[in-house]
Each structure stands twice: as structure tokens, then as C-alpha cells.
Amino acid sequence: MELTSKQRAYLGGEASTLNPIFQIGKASLTPELVSALDEALEKRELIKVSVLKNCADDPHEIASIIAERTRSNVVKVIGKKIILFRQAKKNSKFELPR
């Protein structure tokens, strides 16, 4: 499911109050981190991830790799913060605008 610009704006607003729950550092993306991100998306649907300064990889590239591996959507990348979304199949907390 691809997000529209309206949906991205809505989810970005919802995520503005969230604190990053994961930090990506020098080791960049490990299988364990991707697995943990997948579990967090399953439970929370909308998460924020912080890319630390000691990570050599580009946050945009990291975001697209995470989205591909977790079957989620990149809402936006702002500086070194990544916002990801994957709607739950049942009992979703978010009613996306059309």
C-alpha cells in the first residue's frame, strides 16, 4: 500500500509527539535490529527511529531498506529521524484520510 501525500501529512503530525524508540549507530542495520523494528511496527504501527552521527550510511537509504525488509512505508525522513508506518491488519489505531 502506497501512502498519499495527505496520509503522509496526517501520519507525520501523529508522529511529531513520538520519541524515537530505536537508534541506528555504527553497526548500521543488523538482522536483529530489523527484526526488532518489525515487531515494533506490528505492535505500534507508527514508529520513529533515530540515526546517530557515528552511522556512516545515509538516513534515506536506511529508511528504504527498512521499509523493504519490514513491508512498511516510509512516512518521512527529517534530518537523522525516520518515521515508519505499517497498518495493522486488525484493530488499527489509525484511520487514514482518503
Q: What domains lie within the chain, and their CATH numbers?
A: 5-85 (3.30.110.60)
Spatial separation of the C-alpha atoms in residues 2 and 7, rounded to whole Å: 10
Spatial separation of the C-alpha atoms in residues 2 and 35, rounded to whole Å: 22
**What's the pLDDT score for residue 5?**
92
Q: What is the pTM of this model?
A: 0.92
Strand, coil or helix: 12: helix
**What's the pLDDT score for residue 42?**
92
**What's the pLDDT score for residue 66?**
96
**What's the pLDDT score for residue 36?**
96
CB 72 within 8 A of CB 88: no
Identify the burial level of 33 via C-beta atoms within 10 angstroms of its C-beta, where 0-12 means exposed, 13-18 middle and 19 or more buried.
Answer: middle
